[in-house]
Amino acid sequence: MKILVTGGAGFIGSALIRYLIQDTDNDVVNLDKLTYAGNLQSLHSVDSSARYSFVQTDICDALKVAEVFAQHQPDCVMHLAAESHVDRSIDGPAAFIQTNIVGTYVLLEEARKYWSGLNPQKRAAFRFHHISTDEVYGDLHGTEDLFTETTPYAPSSPYSASKASSDHLVRAWHRTYGLPVVLTNCSNNYGPYHFPEKLIPLVILNALSGKALPVYGEGLQIRDWLYVEDHARALYKVVSQGLVGETYNIGGHNEKRNIDVVHAICELLEEFVPVKPEGIAAYKELIQYVKDRPGHDLRYAIDASKIATELNWTPQESFETGLRKTVRWYLDNENWWKQVLDGRYQLQRLGQGDPQV
């Protein structure tokens, strides 16, 4: 297949592309606007492949998106391009409405027009895979409850509301126009190349520099953690084997309280980097409880039995093995995250990088 990946320079998108190039025979077209969260250096290991190409385009630009479809003739779309940071959505929701809702609409329309013009065989094989989040389901109140594919939507933040909206659009384009879609909703991802504003890389890098480790409220929020490379394998399973019109929840089977995640990172750093910043006797001394986020959901947890039963996918990493790999990766890849922290990675957005086009 030739797969059009939107948002392929982001955290999950780049993991997906690395997997597609390194572990499958598919061709990949990466369409990415290169916002602050897009980083082409995350694709350095595969960007010289003849099966990979990059196009810098905003998914809200219908003319440019139509040109990409016409030029590259993809067999399927894997749509990951999105604004995804909850705190940023609270401070500035407009960008989330534009990218996540309007951008998804534009992409659906251009995909529909392209799909409508294909020959019958290619029309039947085409897929539009929309990648979403478990946050659309809102908060779980019972300690044993799990999100299933039929859990009612109850988003709490501007981010999750915009993703819920995009999910509804995708299903509407399937029912109204017959566009062959599949959807996935995933739990919290973590792993290599994660942008440092997110919890796990933020704690790792702050601890290494002796900065405070901020924890919302009392850190009792529970999340199901999914190693990003496990997620990439699941996404390919769905786009290549999933049934049209179906939704698949993807989870890591790893429910952890935020405070326990922070403590686990501190323990790994004690093992890997026993020599600490001056004045610090233990990394956990840096933990600082801060005012909770408005509307903060307490617990998310995914029932991933459907994708396990129907598509034979289960995560390979436990939280313990995945977190160990993640902390080790950040210790071994200072050049990547230092260029993010000092802003040098953003030179690519100004045409000063060296992406393959």
Which residues are marked as active site? 134-135, 159
Would you state the structure tokens that stand for residue 108, as one six-digit string? 């659906």
CA–CA distance, 213 with 291 (Å, rounded to integer):
13
Amino acid code (one letter) for 178: G
Closest CA to 345 of 193, 189, 192, 190: 193
Q: For tokens 């026993």, what's the residue?
A: 274
The H or E element that residue 250 is part of is strand 247-250
Q: Which helix (H) or strand (E) holds 27?
A: strand 27-32
- Tokens representing 221? 């929020």
d(CA 93, CA 91): 6
Tokens of 182: 């599949």
Angle at 231 between CA 251 and CA 33, to 5 degrees: 120
> What one-character DSSP code corresponds to residue 153?
P
* 27-32 vs 2-6, strand pairing mode: parallel
Residue type present at position 41: Q
Pair of tokens at residue 155: 């988003």
Let me know: does 196 contact 340? Beta carbons within 8 Å: yes
